[in-house]
A and B are shown apart, each in its own frame.
Chain A
Amino acid sequence: MKKITNRAVSVLLIAVLIIAGMVVYVLRYVDDGRDWALYFARANSGSTGVMTDRNGALLAAFDATTNAYSDDELTRISCYHVTGDYWGRTGTGALTCFWDEMHDFSLLTGTTRSESVNLWLNIDAELNKVAYQALNGRKGAVLLCDYRTGELLCMVSGPSIDPLDADAEPPEGAYINRCLSAAFTPGSVFKLITAAAAIENIPDIYDRTFYCEGVYEIAGVPIKCSGVHYTQTFEQALANSCNVAFAQIAVMLGQDTMVEYVKKYGFLDSQSLDGIPTAAGSYPQEFVGDPELGWSGIGQSTDLVCPYSMLRFVSAVGNGGKLCEPKLINDGKAAKTVSFMKADTAEQLASMMSYNVAAHYGGESNFPGLKLCAKTGTAELGDGTSHAWFAGFLQDEEHPYAFVVMIEQGGGGLSAAGSLANTLLQAVVRR
């Protein structure tokens, strides 16, 4: 019997394997249970959901058996990066990110059943359509918000797809929301940050003049300017978008101060749009030497800026230094307000940006009827192409809108991005 019973213990090997299997399952459940549970939750919980734009236009709706989007094709395509899709192919879509709002999950209680969830967005689908049509198939990002309330009215990323046309081969990069999930070389729009640092750190900045003869050598390295601007004031230098002047200013401020301001304005961090994380930017933080510092001060070098971070900046300038964090969802709660920059700095930047438009961007003829403050950017990519940027706001109590337009390899800032911005702003003030 001893022999037999000793061998009986081998049976426990099976038991041990089963216990090990259960441990594996429990660990996987802790790790992935949420994904598993929510995968079929929508179809099986009996709940329904409706997502509308600020005017009540339907963007997406689902119940147990159907996954619907807007009936209008242009709405579907222009709002694709806002809504996302039911498969979660674009990670920052509201359908994906606010899934939690429709079904929640906890390891203890599993899924919580919800009968009906409505998601009311601040987005105006009509504005998105205007912006998407104006992009005209180009790759780019268009953002517009109300800087007094933070309401995000327009967010378009190109190229886009029709979520109903699931089988079609999507254009390259169509799943990326360029407004939130990517950072680009900013070029001259970055001079706004250098200017803000200069206003606060160089006491006699307005008394100084900057001389530009088209090229300027720092330690033997030439910094080329787009033109020859001769003697100019600080204000004129920004309007001229003079590389020579701003490279000098950056060197004058020093790398530490530049890094401090880039950080302070949140360009290096991932921001959060109602919980949707955005891309962080970059700026040279290791010691680079004066020539590179000069380049970085005019938005070249290794500078990268996420369009959403730029929207926060211009929005804060428009709102007198206080930033209303942009809000995608209209949940009735007021936007979080943060003190972004000194009111005085914001005021001076605003007047310089207003001067830009009036003196150099064609004022009333290019932007009829708009009390526009803006800055262009033409970010050289080194291969002859450039990203076109146009960022700013309306200094208008009735139309307190801040915006960022970025067109990838779109050419000149004013000609490409500026005209798109005008189309959008005309639509929003007529609204």
Chain B
Amino acid sequence: MDAFLETSMTASKTVLIILSVTIIVRCIRSMLSERYESEVWAYIRMGREMLPVNHWENIIGRSRGADIRVNEPGVGRVHAVLKRSDRGIWTIYDVFSKGGVWVNGTKVGSRGINLETGDVINLAGTCVRFQDITTEKREKLESARTSAGKRVSPFMTLFELTVFQLFLLLQHAISAHANHLPNIVLGFVLLIILEWTCYNAMRLMSRSGFEAETLAFYLTTLGMSVTASSTPEDMFKQILLTIASVLLFLLCGAWLRNLKRTAMMRDPIAVLALLLLAVNVLASDAVFGARNWLELGGYSFQPSELVKVAYIYVGASTLDRLYRKRNLFGFIAFSAVCVMALALIGDFGMALVFFVSFLVISFMRSGSIATVFLAVTGAGLAGFLAISVKPYIAQRFASWGHVWEDVYGAGFQQTRAMSAAASGGLFGKGAGSGWLKDIFAANTDMVFAVICEEQGLIIAICMVLAVLTLAFFAVRSARHGRSAYYSIAACAAMSMLMVQMGLNVFGSLDILPFTGVTFPFVSRGGSSLLSCWMLLAFVKGADTRRDASFVVRSVRKIEEYHVGYDAETDDYDYDSDGTEEDEP
């Protein structure tokens, strides 16, 4: 390598690190530091008191945790659920209260009764009056709400990402074999076009929140870089998969906009997921110990990755349904079948990912620590059984923490991952200049180490921070979610991605047993990339900053549709309104 190329490599390394840190910091500032004002959407008048209604889904009850606390004798801890549709229609549901709920003297059933300003709600003898806010107030509220992208321009962040990608491409241009160069250039150029198309589409829909997508594109870029290093011949395949993933992300997001439709489709999707797993158990070939792959037109395909998305979709729930159903039996059964199917397939890493998501969802839904303990104990026993039945799992546990004692056997991958990761130092060897890329499964199970080696520890940490930022954002947004469904789904999706990342990173570094799951967005593997982008749609669903997310309908727009509303069914012809909002 002559001196000029060496200098460019060193310079580009510095630029990449600075850009990485800037991108992450900008996204953190934009997603995690903006203030959310408390919003009041309606009032409950109780005697002289005016109780504010702060959410779109509210619990009315005596409980300290109730959103609207009515501390009167006869009122249950969780007595009723008050819910606002995105059309601005309020409905009250009785959630199996002992004392019952009446509106203007009519008994409220499980289907709920719509409310108008002035309606008298009788909660087991305690009468309160419902009062919606006026249209002017609603408009004021809407304009006061924090909007995304005001303090930190999403355009600049994406622009920095583009520069990052160009410098990364420069490094590959220096190190790659001439045969593969066109493929690599094409991959990166298409990725840049894809992200800007996506950005412009958001602008066209007058949406301003693009941080989650930027972080996902940042991670995808690092994944592309690993592919360019390890299997450059797959570059074209990988970019096609990325395009498909982003399209699916948009599709999922659009689907999630309509909560009613989303909720209605839960059961069919659950059945579909189980069918997919059944096909997987029966028909797939054993690859590398796990029978988790289906060959589909040249793409090997992991059905369990799609089931992950379905799992979150089915697991999340709206508040009224949550308290009307009262138990988790259906969900527990569904989870048990999923985890057992994965265990049958032999993919214990994935089974663990599902299990942790199950814990998160069931805890968020029930709030019961006892349930969580019970589940953990059960899983512990099952895990013990798995270790004693499956010898290769036991072997992984046996070598855990002792990988350096068996460098050519059980510790083969981990020791090489650790060695390569350390040899990159903080600044890395430059894209395509490492040696780990040529080791088997480097671009899936050991991507963290490949990035450490080629881009250095700082960028590798940025990669982890990107996922953590999305998770913190999901938790922060959960508080302001339009529905418990979106809040639960976003949190569960991010726990899934975090657990996956944890298992991948720490498994390859011998801090946890090696399980062979993928690093979200970065590991090569089409189905994994597809599912990660689809899970990201759930995060977008919880983002209620003003005009931030394309998954959340703009409130102002909704009001214009008030005409033609069918109050009896609380329903619209949804299929006809999907496109209008896309115009600025």
Hey, which bits of chain A sit against chain B, CB under 8 A? 1-12, 14-15, 17-19, 21-22, 24-26, 28-29, 32-34, 36-37, 39-41, 44-45, 105-111
Contact = CB atoms under 8 A, between A and B. Distances in A.
Contacts of B63: 3
B201 interface: no
B396 to A, nearest CB: 18
Interface stretch (B178-186, B189-197, B283-291, B472-480): B472-480
A44 to B, nearest CB: 4
Given A8-B488, A14-B360, A40-B416, 20 more contacts: A1-B55, A2-B65, A3-B66, A4-B364, A4-B365, A4-B478, A7-B367, A8-B479, A11-B495, A12-B475, A14-B471, A15-B468, A39-B404, A39-B407, A40-B415, A40-B420, A44-B435, A110-B425, A110-B453, A111-B423
A4 B488 contact: yes
Contacts of A1: 54-59, 67, 319, 479, 481, 484, 487
B202 to A, nearest CB: 26
Given A7-B363, A33-B422, A39 B478 contact: no
18 contacts: A3-B65, A4-B484, A5-B481, A8-B474, A11-B491, A12-B475, A18-B505, A21-B506, A22-B464, A28-B511, A34-B422, A36-B418, A39-B407, A40-B416, A45-B435, A108-B425, A110-B423, A110-B425
B464 A18 contact: yes
Contacts of B336: none
B364 A8 contact: yes
Nearest to B492: A11
Contacts of A7: 363-364, 367
A2 B416 contact: no
A12 B426 contact: no
B419 A41 contact: yes
A178 to B, nearest CB: 29
B424 interface: yes
Contacts of B67: 1-2
A37 B365 CA distance: 46
Interface in B459-510: 461, 464, 468, 471-472, 474-475, 478-479, 481, 484, 487-488, 491, 494-495, 498-499, 501-502, 505-506, 509
A21 B511 contact: yes
B59 A14 contact: no
Contacts of A22: 461, 464, 505
A19 B319 contact: no
Contacts of A109: 425-427
A10 B420 contact: no
Contacts of B419: 36-37, 39-41, 44
A88 to B, nearest CB: 13
- List the 4 closest A-B pairs by CB distance, nearest first: A110-B425, A44-B435, A37-B422, A33-B422
B257 interface: no
Interface in B136-164: none
Scoring A3, A15, A108, A109 by chain B CB atoms within 10 A of each residue's CB, the highest score goes to A3
A15 B58 CA distance: 28
Contacts of B173: none
A14 B506 contact: no
A34 B502 CA distance: 24
B483 to A, nearest CB: 9
Contact of A110 (B429, B479, B488): B429
A15 B471 contact: yes
Contacts of B421: 29, 36
B428 interface: yes
Nearest to B494: A11
Contacts of A9: 475
Contacts of A33: 422
B364 A14 contact: no
Interface in B330-372: 356, 360, 363-365, 367
B222 interface: no
Nearest to A41: B423
B457 interface: yes
A25 B506 contact: yes
Interface string B33-77: 000000000000000000000111111000101110000000000
Contacts of B428: 110
Contacts of B512: 21
Contact of A3 (B59, B427, B468): B59
Contact of A106 (B55, B367, B425): B425
B478 A8 contact: yes
Contacts of B360: 10-11, 14
Contacts of A106: 425
B502 A110 contact: no
Contact of A24 (B58, B426, B511): B511
B427 A108 contact: yes
A40 B423 CA distance: 9
A4 B322 CA distance: 10
B425 A39 contact: no
Contact of B422 (A2, A17, A29): A29
A3 B427 CA distance: 45
Contacts of A17: 502
A12 B472 contact: yes
Interface string B417-461: 011111111111100000100000000000000000100110001
A21 B508 CA distance: 12
A24 B429 CA distance: 23
Contacts of B57: 1
Nearest to B436: A44
A1 to B, nearest CB: 4
Contacts of B367: 3, 7
Nearest to B434: A44
B148 to A, nearest CB: 20
B426 A21 contact: no
A111 B505 CA distance: 21
Contacts of B501: 18
A18 B416 CA distance: 22
Nearest to A3: B65
Contact of B471 (A12, A25, A107): A12
A245 B407 CA distance: 60
Interface string B218-261: 00000000000000000000000000000000000000000000
A21 B505 contact: yes
A36 B363 CA distance: 40
A94 B437 CA distance: 31
Nearest to A17: B502
Given A1-B59, A1-B67, A4-B487, A14 B479 contact: no
A7 B316 CA distance: 14
Contact of B425 (A21, A25, A107): A107
B54 to A, nearest CB: 8
A3 B488 CA distance: 11
B425 A11 contact: no
B491 A8 contact: yes
Scoring B425, B498, B506, B509 by chain A CB atoms within 10 A of each residue's CB, the highest score goes to B425
B356 A14 contact: yes
Contacts of A26: 457
Given A11-B474, A40-B416, A41-B419, A18 B498 contact: yes
A99 to B, nearest CB: 14
Nearest to A111: B423
Nearest to A26: B457
Nearest to A18: B502
B498 A25 contact: no
Contacts of B356: 14
Nearest to B469: A15
A2 B416 CA distance: 47
A375 to B, nearest CB: 47
B171 to A, nearest CB: 16
B487 A11 contact: no
B247 to A, nearest CB: 28
A32 B510 CA distance: 13
Scoring A1, A22, A29 by chain B CB atoms within 10 A of each residue's CB, the highest score goes to A1
A15 B468 CA distance: 6
Contact of A11 (B453, B457, B471, B505): B471
